[in-house]
């Protein structure tokens, strides 16, 4: 039920919720997609909005009407569950619980979260703090919505910039919560973190499988990178126009292991997000056709 002119594939993009979360499905349709990512709140503010029953009902109706296959939220940029500061950790935890609660009510498939920053330099302790927060949130908020740990670019005190970091978080979460955990693989972040998807594509995925297991891969963020391999800088670029170039995206689009894994754009929106998203999505589809 995706409608005329809307390919029923695994591609999509982050879309705006301006005017109400229920407007997101139609915006996904506008960019010729049946998959989407959204914010359930303003990502740079602590304020925790309560979704009305009407907003939830309208979102669910719009999702069904447009034929959205996969719907994902991205949590607040302020959340830092790796923080050594008790007050910030607690505030981050409450914010993350709120995100998970809203996502469950909306019937979203995934919540994508950044593991955070160990600002005191204690990476192992930062990973443990993150795992505690994620585990407690999953215990508190029941439902089908899964949490995906996003691979980061690994800059500064950021945790989550390696497969081993994500594996450690998964290991520290009790089995009952671990079943609702997976990984979001951002191509820009991976390349910036030192995973060479251009010249060492198969090596990257062998390493991923060895450390995490391909069954943990729940979602791709497909973004080119403004900066080179190992830069540790998180700056997204349009597909094929950055340092990754078209080669790894063509390989991902034709890799049978990833055919059913949802793939969402977070490329720059510019002044005309519909046109730019459509262009990036069309390019990705052309890679498969080629």
Q: Helix (H, G, I), strand (E, B), or coil: what is residue 208?
A: helix
Q: Which residues contact 156 (CB under 8 A, 6 or more apart)?
A: 117, 232
Helix (H) or strand (E) holding 191: helix 187-192
Is domain 11-289 in CATH 3.20.20.150, yes or no?
yes
**Taking Cα atoms as reference points, which of 215, 290, 223 lies closest to residue 258?**
215
Grade residue 8 by pLDDT with cuts at 50, 70 and 90.
Answer: confident
Using pLDDT thresholds of 50, 70 and 90, give the confidence band for residue 6: confident
Residue closest to 12 by CA, chosen among 48, 38, 42, 50 = 38
3-state secondary structure of 148: strand
CA dihedral 42→73→162→152, nearest 10 degrees, is -30
Would you tell me how many other CB atoms lie within 10 Å of the CB of residue 104?
15
Contact between residue 154 and residue 164 where contact means Cβ atoms under 8 Å apart: no
Mean pLDDT of the residues in the chain: 96
pLDDT for res 272: 87
pLDDT at position 7, please? Answer: 83
How do strand 263-265 and strand 181-186 relate by DSSP bridges? unpaired
Q: Residue 8 and residue 54: Cα distance in Å, rounded? A: 28
pLDDT digits (tens, 9 = 90+) for 252-280: 999 999 999 999 999 999 888 899 999 99
For 33-53, give one letter per residue: b (16+ CB within 10 A) or e: bbbbbbbbbeeeeeeeeebee
Give the 3-state secondary structure of residue 134: helix
pLDDT digits (tens, 9 = 90+) for 204-251: 999 999 999 999 999 999 999 999 999 999 999 999 999 999 999 999
pLDDT in tens, 169-218: 999 999 999 999 999 999 999 999 999 999 999 999 999 999 999 999 99
Q: Give the C-alpha separation, 179 to 142, whole Å.
A: 12
**For position 129, what pLDDT does the model report?**
98
Q: List residues bridging with 229 in a β-sheet.
A: none
For the chain, what are the domain ranges?
A: 11-289
Q: Are 85 and 19 within 8 A, CB to CB?
A: no
Q: Per-residue pLDDT for 141 more than 70?
A: yes
pLDDT tens digits, 99-135? 999 999 999 999 999 999 999 989 999 999 999 999 9
Nearest to 106 by CA among 22, 12, 30, 14: 22
- Under 8 Å CB-to-CB from 61, ≥6 apart: which residues? 22
| Average pLDDT rounded to a whole number, residues 11-22 | 97
**Residues in the chain, how many?**
290
Euclidean distance between CA atoms 219 and 164, whole angstroms? 18
pLDDT value of residue 66: 95
pLDDT confidence of 1, banded at 50, 70, 90? very low
**Region of poorest pLDDT, from 5-9, 43-47, 203-207, 273-277:** 5-9
Q: Is the pLDDT of residue 56 over 60?
A: yes
| Whole-number Cα distances in Å, 55 to 68, 95, 114 | 17, 20, 27
| Mean pLDDT within 83-105 | 98
What are the pLDDT digits (tens) for 60-80? 999 999 999 999 999 999 999
């Amino acid at each position: 039920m995706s409608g005329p002119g809307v390919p029923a594939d695994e591609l999509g993009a982050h879309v705006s919720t301006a005017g109400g979360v229920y407007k997101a499905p139609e915006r996904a349709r506008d960019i010729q997609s049946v998959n989407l990512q959204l914010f359930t709140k303003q990502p740079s503010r602590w304020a925790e909005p309560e979704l009305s029953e009407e907003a939830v009902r309208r979102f669910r109706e719009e999702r069904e009407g447009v034929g959205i296959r996969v719907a994902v939220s991205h949590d607040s940029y302020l959340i830092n569950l790796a923080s050594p500061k008790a007050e910030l950790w607690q505030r981050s935890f409450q914010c993350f619980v709120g995100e998970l609660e809203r996502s469950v009510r909306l019937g979203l498939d995934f919540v994508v979260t950044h593991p955070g920053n160990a600002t005191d330099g204690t990476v192992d302790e930062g990973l443990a703090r993150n795992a505690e927060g994620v585990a407690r949130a999953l215990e508190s908020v029941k439902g089908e919505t899964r949490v995906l740990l996003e691979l980061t670019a690994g800059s500064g005190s950021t945790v989550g910039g390696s497969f081993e970091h994500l594996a450690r978080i998964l290991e520290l979460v009790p089995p009952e919560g671990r079943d609702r955990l997976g990984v979001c693989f951002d191509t820009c972040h991976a390349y910036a973190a030192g995973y060479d998807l251009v010249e060492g594509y198969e090596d990257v995925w062998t390493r991923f499988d060895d450390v995490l297991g391909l069954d943990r891969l729940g979602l791709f963020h497909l973004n080119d990178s403004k900066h080179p391999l190992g830069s540790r800088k998180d700056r997204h670029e349009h597909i094929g126009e950055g340092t990754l170039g078209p080669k790894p995206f063509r390989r991902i689009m034709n890799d049978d292991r990833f055919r059913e894994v949802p793939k969402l754009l977070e490329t720059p929106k510019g002044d005309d997000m519909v046109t730019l998203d459509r262009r990036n999505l069309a390019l990705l589809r052309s890679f498969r056709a080629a």
